[in-house]
Amino acid sequence: MKILTDLEVNQISFIPRKGCPLSVMIRDEQTKEETEYIPTFTYEDYHTKFILTHTLVENRKYSVHIQDEDGMTLYRDLMQAITDQPIETYSINKDEYDIPEEVVESTPIYKII
């Protein structure tokens, strides 16, 4: 799972299967809309990197397929948590649960022996 902190520009790093990456296909899993990019790939040790400049919608899933010139898939991933939250305070449950503190404090504590 990749947590992206910016909804417009992100650096993606991956380790491809053998081959030379050429294109990136981004698919919105909700609308099924596909967009193909031909970014500039950079290489650092065993990692390959590129800058993703696709406008993403918060709380949507996107699949990423990186292909070589023959159309063979070198890498694929699913970006599941796309958020504007800072990575230090990231919570998958942000703004979804509202539990009063009184309930938490009044819950008995049990010891298992």
User: What stretch of H or E contains 106?
Assistant: helix 101-106
Tens-place pLDDT, residues 18-71? 888 989 999 998 899 999 999 999 988 888 999 888 888 877 888 999 999 888
Q: Domain boundaries in the chain? A: 3-87
**Which residues have C-beta within 8 Å of that of residue 37, sequence separation ≥ 6?**
23, 24, 25, 26, 52, 53, 54
Q: pTM of the full predicted structure?
A: 0.65
Tens-place pLDDT, residues 60-113? 888 999 999 888 889 988 886 566 666 666 666 666 555 556 655 655 666 677
The CA radius of gyration of the chain, in Å to the nearest whole number, is 19
Give the span between the Cα atoms of 41 and 69, in whole angstroms.
14
As to burial, measured by CB atoms within 10 angstroms (0-12 exposed, 13-18 middle, 19+ buried), residue 54 is middle
The architecture of the domain spanning 3-87 is Sandwich (2.60)
